[in-house]
Amino acid sequence: MAIEVGYGEASYRRFAPSKFVKSYVKKVCDEIGLAGAAFGVSFVSSEDIRALNLKYRGIDAPTDILSFAAMDDAGEGEDFILPGRMQRNLGDTYICIDELKDNAARFSVSEDEELRRLLIHGVLHLSGRDHKTNEPGEPMLALQEEILKKLGN
């Protein structure tokens, strides 16, 4: 499993250390049977995620997380295999630290719990899962909370 972790600002490294992110994401992947995957997790500013949200979703506002799944050139939904690695490149996830902190305050949870929740959320999106609303009854969101509970805070 190859997980690339990037930081839009140096201070984000202290908030979400690469070693922790890789370790936790690996646990999530193991939990959903997603071995041999490769993808990126980047921590970005409100301005950066707002620009991505506008460019790719037409929404001129920051958001907590965006995930961009990789597809093969045929567009048939097959996994893209990284040359020489035989790993499936699932894509990239971008997490906004400021929005994460706002979420934690709004939902009265720790920032650490919200970080874990968003990491799970990104992996689930990259694995092909989706949700139409943010209602807790959505199957993907229910699975997200189940994984969070199982892996602990």
User: Which residues are bridge partners to 37 per DSSP?
Assistant: 88
Cβ density class 6-28: b for 16+ within 10 Å, e for less: ebbeeebeebbeeeebbebbbbb
Whole-prediction pTM value? 0.88
What pLDDT shows up at residue 54? 97
Task: Pull the structure tokens for residue 139.
Answer: 């199957």
DSSP H or E segment with residue 7: strand 2-7
What pLDDT shows up at residue 72? 42
User: What domains can you pick out in the chain, each with its CATH number?
Assistant: 2-151 (3.40.390.30)
How does pLDDT run across 99-148, given as a tens digit for each residue? Answer: 999 999 999 999 999 999 999 999 998 888 888 878 778 888 999 999 99
How does pLDDT run across 37-88, given as a tens digit for each residue? Answer: 889 999 999 999 999 999 999 999 999 999 998 864 434 444 444 445 556 7
Look over the chain and give the mean of its residue pLDDT values, rounded to a whole number.
87
Is residue 31 predicted with pLDDT exceeding 80?
yes
Determine the Cα–Cα distance for residues 8 and 119; give it in Å rounded to an integer.
17
Q: Please report where in the chains the tokens 């907590």 appear, as a residue.
A: 64
What pLDDT shows up at residue 70? 81
What pLDDT shows up at residue 117? 95
